[in-house]
Structures are given as structure tokens and as C-alpha cells.
């Protein structure tokens, strides 16, 4: 982790902690200690389920290219990757971590990148399927249908991304030729252009191998991804119940979806700042300020800080097994 990343990481932690404290003050701390241990244990179990679902999905996406990887190794890979996803600006460290870990199991970097691309594409498909129903319910039930554009804009962006992927797949040869001509116009040397083209072709081959599975397996990958997000985006709903209050599950899902989208715009690790502010803005009209602040603390602990603590411990353990860091910290 570079010095700049360390500063950004520290800022993210401070901003993430400051927002609920400013909203709820000392009363929030007093309310926090009243949360029953049983509810906290349930939240720990929910995150564990999310990690295991992703580990299962990772093994399906590898499609036999890492025969020595059991479920435990896949689980450790997922936890370490999601640690860097939350610890680095914009999640930029996740692809490198995944590639480094999969390389230990004989998976080439291009294939690891293809696995990550399929993972992101599956997430995109899940949210494209869920967003219209969840968001329209949230607007109609709690907010104002006049704010339809808040649903339409992210939905249109997701459809545009999916369309872009489809066009790239359909006209990949033409895109590669045009990209090469453009790089030549920019003055990139022919050797470097050829090296880049070979890397793209290796990625394409890895992507084809990842998707070259029976439709039943693809459906299972989608289903695991769907259940993962249904469980993870239920954390706010469970947190509100733990505080003795009530909030519709669908609205809690909608809040997490919008808040994490806002968090990504900050580019801070874990979406700190943007996620808390957006979550508070959507929850505060329906809960007291203290309850909102406490809910945000519980939600962010289990979907951000817990990923850092548990995932960081796993990453240190993986590095200690080989006696060398997973990533170059220069």
C-alpha cells in the first residue's frame, strides 16, 4: 500500500466514523451498546454466508482451471480480495490481489482477469434485474414518484454498460483494429502495441473459457450472485430490527443500493463518506436521528469494517504462508 493510499485509507476511516457521530452524538453510543448480542451474531453469520456464496461462485467461474483449490482456499481468496476491494481507492487493488492469489493455483493473469470480468458482469445483471422493482417500490412507498429519474439514471447506465459489453463481444475484431490504429496515432511503439494486443487476446480466450460452461452452471452462478446480494443488502433491515424499530425490507435494500452507489462516487476506500451521507438522508425521514446514526454504524461495521478486519487477517495469513507479500507495496 503506497503512502497516498494510506492517507486515503485513514481519511476514509475518519469520514466514515464522523458522519454517524455528528448525526447521533453520544446518544448514538449509548444506543449502540443496547444492541442484543444475538442480532450481532446473526449479522456475522450473514456476512459469512456472503463470503461462502462468493467462494462457491469463484470455483464455478474457474471451471476446473485451479484443480487444487478447495472451498477453504476459495474462501480465503474471496476474503483477501474483498479486503483490498474495500481498502483501496475505488477498489483498485482487488484485480491485482485476485490475480496474485489465483496465480498460486496455476491460473494465468489473463484468466484471472477474465474471472473478475465475469464476476462483475454477473453483478451487473443481478442489479439490472433487481433495480427497477426495488427502486420503484421505494419511491412509491416512501419517497416521491416525481423523483423517477433517480431510478432511471442508474438503470440506464447499467443497460448502457451491458449494451457496451454486447457490442464489444460482437465487434471485438474491429474494436481491436481501431484501438491499434489509435494507439499508433498516439505514438505507441509497435512492439508495445503487439504486446497489448496479445494481452487482450489472452483475456478474450480466458473469458471464453470461463463462459464455456453448461447453461445450468451459468444459471447457478447467477443464482449464487443473486442470493449473495439479497443477504448482504438485508443488513440495514436486520440492524433496524435489532434496535427495536421497523423498516420494510425492500426499502432497506433500496437504501443500501443507493448509498453504495453514492459511495462509489467518492472514490474513497469502501465508498466512505458518500455511503454514510446517502444512507442517513434516506433513513432519517423514517427513523429518529439517533436510530439512523446507530443503524449506519451497525450497517457499515458489518459491510465495511468487518471486511477489513477479517479479510485483512486472512490476507496476512496468506502472506505468512509463503513468507512474501501478496502485492508489491512500492
Q: What is the full per-residue pLDDT of the chain (330 aa) written as tens digits?
A: 455 667 767 777 777 778 888 888 888 888 999 999 999 999 999 999 999 999 999 999 888 888 889 999 999 999 999 999 998 887 888 888 998 899 888 888 878 887 888 888 888 888 877 777 766 666 666 555 555 555 555 556 656 665 665 655 565 566 656 665 666 666 666 666 666 655 555 556 555 655 666 788 888 999 999 999 999 999 999 999 999 999 988 889 888 988 888 887 777 888 888 889 889 988 988 899 999 999 999 999 999 999 999 999 999 998 887 665 565 544
Q: Tell me: the pLDDT tens digits for 268-278?
A: 888 888 889 88
Per the CB < 8 A criterion, the answer to whether 62 and 69 are in contact is yes
DSSP 302: I
Contacts of 14 (CB under 8 A, 6+ apart): none
Instruction: Output the nine-digit C-alpha cell for 242.
Output: 435489532
At residue 257, the pLDDT reads 85
- Closest by CA position to 46, among listed 236, 306, 232, 225: 232
- Tell me how far apart the alpha carbons of residues 141 and 156 are, in angstroms, rounded to a whole number: 22
Q: Are 248 and 283 in contact (CB under 8 A)?
A: no
Residue the block writes with cell 458482469: 121
**What 8-state DSSP symbol labels residue 212?**
-
Query: Which three three-digit cell numbers place residue 163?
Result: 449494451
Structure letter (DSSP) for residue 305: I
- Answer yes or no: are the C-beta atoms of 242 and 39 closer than 8 Å: yes
Q: Taking phi first (over 0 means left), then psi (-120 to 50 degrees means alpha), and beta for anything else, what does residue 287 get?
A: beta
Task: Name the grid cell of 146.
Answer: 416525481
**What's the pLDDT at 330?**
44
pLDDT digits (tens, 9 = 90+) for 104-157: 888 888 788 878 888 888 888 888 777 777 666 666 665 555 555 555 555 566
Domain limits, the chain:
3-322
Residue 40 pLDDT: 96
Give the pLDDT of residue 235. 97
CA angle 168, 174, 179 (to 5 degrees): 85
> What phi, psi does 271 have (nearest 5°)?
65, 25
Cα 48 from Cα 27, distance rounded (Å): 30
Instruction: Specify the pLDDT at position 90.
Output: 79
Does the global pTM surpass 0.85?
no
Amino acid at each position: 500500500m503506497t503512502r497516498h493510499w494510506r492517507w486515503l485509507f485513514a481519511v476514509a476511516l475518519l469520514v466514515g466514523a464522523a458522519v454517524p457521530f455528528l448525526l447521533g452524538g453520544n446518544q448514538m453510543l449509548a444506543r449502540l451498546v443496547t444492541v442484543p448480542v444475538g442480532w450481532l451474531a446473526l449479522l456475522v453469520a450473514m456476512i459469512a454466508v456472503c463470503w461462502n456464496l462468493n467462494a462457491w461462485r469463484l470455483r464455478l467461474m474457474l471451471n476446473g482451471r485451479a484443480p487444487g483449490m478447495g472451498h477453504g482456499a476459495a474462501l480465503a481468496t474471496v476474503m483477501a480480495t474483498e479486503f483490498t476491494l474495500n481498502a483501496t481507492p475505488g477498489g483498485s487493488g482487488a484485480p491485482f490481489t485476485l490475480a496474485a492469489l489465483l496465480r498460486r493455483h496455476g491460473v494465468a493473469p489473463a484468466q484471472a482477469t477474465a474471472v473478475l470480468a465475469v464476476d462483475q458482469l454477473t453483478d451487473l445483471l443481478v442489479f439490472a434485474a433487481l433495480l427497477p422493482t426495488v427502486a420503484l417500490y421505494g419511491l412509491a412507498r416512501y419517497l416521491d414518484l416525481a423523483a423517477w429519474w433517480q431510478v432511471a439514471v442508474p438503470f440506464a447506465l447499467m443497460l448502457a454498460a451491458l449494451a457496451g459489453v454486447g457490442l464489444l463481444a460482437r465487434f471485438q475484431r474491429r474494436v481491436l483494429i481501431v484501438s491499434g490504429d489509435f494507439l499508433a496515432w498516439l505514438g505507441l511503439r509497435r512492439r508495445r502495441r503487439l504486446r497489448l494486443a496479445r494481452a487482450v487476446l489472452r483475456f478474450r480466450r480466458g473469458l471464453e473459457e470461463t463462459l464455456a460452461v453448461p447453461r445450468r452452471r451459468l444459471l447457478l452462478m447467477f443464482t449464487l450472485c443473486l442470493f449473495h446480494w439479497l443477504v448482504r443488502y438485508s443488513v440495514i433491515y436486520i440492524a433496524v430490527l435489532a434496535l427495536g424499530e421497523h423498516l420494510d425490507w425492500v426499502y432497506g435494500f433500496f437504501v443500501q443500493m443507493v448509498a453504495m452507489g453514492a459511495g462509489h462516487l467518492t472514490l474513497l476506500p469502501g465508498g466512505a463518506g458518500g455511503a454514510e451521507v446517502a444512507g442517513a438522508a434516506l433513513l432519517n425521514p423514517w427513523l429518529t436521528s439517533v436510530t439512523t446514526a446507530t443503524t449506519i454504524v451497525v450497517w457499515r461495521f458489518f459491510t465495511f469494517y468487518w471486511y477489513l478486519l477479517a479479510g485483512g487477517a486472512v490476507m496476512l495469513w496468506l502472506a505468512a504462508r509463503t513468507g512474501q507479500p501478496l502485492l508489491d507495496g512500492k
